[in-house]
Amino acid sequence: MFLKIQANINQFIEAPTMTDASNPNARVIPAKTKGFISINSHPTGCSVTVNEWADRAKSKPTIAGLGSAPKALILGGTTGYGLATRVVLTENLGASTISVGFDAAASESRPATAGWYNTYAFHNRYAGSGKHFSLNGDAFAQETRESVVKLIKEKFGKIGIFVYSIAAPRRKDPTTGTVYSSVLKPVGAPYSGLTVELDGGKLSLASLQPASEEEIANTTKVMGGEDLQLWVDYLKEQGVAEDNLKVVAYTYEGPSLSWPVYKDGTIGKAKDDVKAKCVSINRDLSKAGGMARVAYLQATVTQASLAIPTVPLYVSIYSKVMKEQGLFEDNLDHVYRMLQLLGKEPVGPETDVALRVDDRELQVKIQSEVTSRMAGLQSGTVLDANYFAALRGAFLNLFGFEITGVDYSAAVDTLFGKEWPAA
């Protein structure tokens, strides 16, 4: 079921089936980008991806250590690693899930967001199961927390897995009402690095000035662990967390070449705060057999990550090297391995909260090869066609484009999902 949070009204409604596009609103939806932003999303392509992931997750050996048919809450479960987590838990462990996302429906002028289409595809696959629910709203808002808890009490009783996969440009403090904005900047010194334009593959030099103390603090307010702590505290306070609750917050650290703008930059400072909060949460949860972990995931293509100097170029080359070495994992495979590792984690107040799933990426042989290939690249040149095609393809895949088997010349209903059906 898909829920819409609108003012103080919570509607529990069934997700409709995708139309066959035989209506006046049908048109061809082309892939269209502007900088590092995708203007369009394709419902058919998103549906194919969700179902392919689900089929693959179902075929994998059952993950041990996470229980049978767990009940999970996933914040940010509409795209990327969050969506992959929902799919793996559902198909591999028979989980019941609640997902929170912040996506837009279609309008007369544009399609819906990819997260919206992914969620509808997910619900279409499991229609009638009564095991999956989605809320569309701001995960930072207290209203959303209250809606989630209400849903858990009515449908699940309690949850045993809580996944925090949130990346946002701003956050409204639920207590003070102050709105904080995050920035992706270095700390202490300027930074310059090569980036690649998605519209043609041209390499250019991007420079960033160091963040102010206020910007560092604001970024930590948005991307740090404060909201994670609020969620865990509220779930426990409301009695909807199992005693052995497993909490996982997703993060990224990356190789040393990106540290000035990432690990040692504003986002890194915020992620340090996430880890500190997880240490505290883990000590508390371990008293009853629970745990908290920060999962350090591998580099992946996202709309946000491609806006960071060095990162898109690094990802394009790193991905190819990983494929050549037989080590490449897409989002689904990577999350599956992460959950396998999570199931083996020991419980204890002093256990290491860092769950390193980026071990393959950071192997010396991988990083040495990536560094070697990046060394000769210069601003003003064009990235090798093979690297560029893979990067742009991976980016477009996020929005349902360049998916094998999809006829992009076929018209689809542009108003799909615009109107909510009657409750």
Expressed in percent and rounded to 5, the helix, strand and coil fractions of the chain are 40, 20, 45
Q: Which helix (H) or strand (E) holds 269?
A: helix 266-285
Task: State the Cα–Cα distance between residues 177 and 166, nearest whole angstrom.
Answer: 19
Phi first, then psi: what are they for 229, rounded to 5°? -60, -40
Q: How far is CA 390 from the centre of its chain?
A: 20
Residue 129 near residue 193 (C-beta atoms within 8 A): no
Token couple for 284: 């508390």
Evaluate the CA torsion angle 254, 257, 258, 260 in order and state its sign.
positive
**Alpha helix locations (H) across 110-265?**
114-125, 142-151, 213-223, 226-237
Could you tell me the CA-to-CA distances from 321 to 299, 312, 318 in Å, in that order? 13, 14, 5
- Structural tokens at position 153: 């009490």
DSSP state of 202: B
Q: How far apart are CA 213 and CA 185, in angstroms?
A: 11
| CA nearest to 162, candidates 152, 154, 170 | 152
- Give the Cα separation of 261 and 246 in Å (integer): 31
d(CA 223, CA 205): 26
Catalytic one among 120, 191, 262, 387?
A: 262
Q: Is 365 helix (H, G, I), strand (E, B) or coil?
A: helix
Residue 334's H or E segment, with its range, is: helix 331-344
> 336 catalytic, yes or no?
no
The alpha-carbon radius of gyration of the chain (Å, integer) is 21
DSSP string spanning 46-85? Answer: HHHHHHHHHHHHHHSPPPPSS-SS-EEEEETTTSHHHHHH
Backbone angles phi and psi of 351, in degrees to 5? -65, 150
Q: Which string of DSSP letters, residue by residue, matches 310-327?
A: THHHHHHHHHHHHHHTT-
Reduced to 3 states (helix: H, G, I; strand: E, B; else coil), residue 221 is: helix
What amino acid positions are annotated as catalytic residues? 262
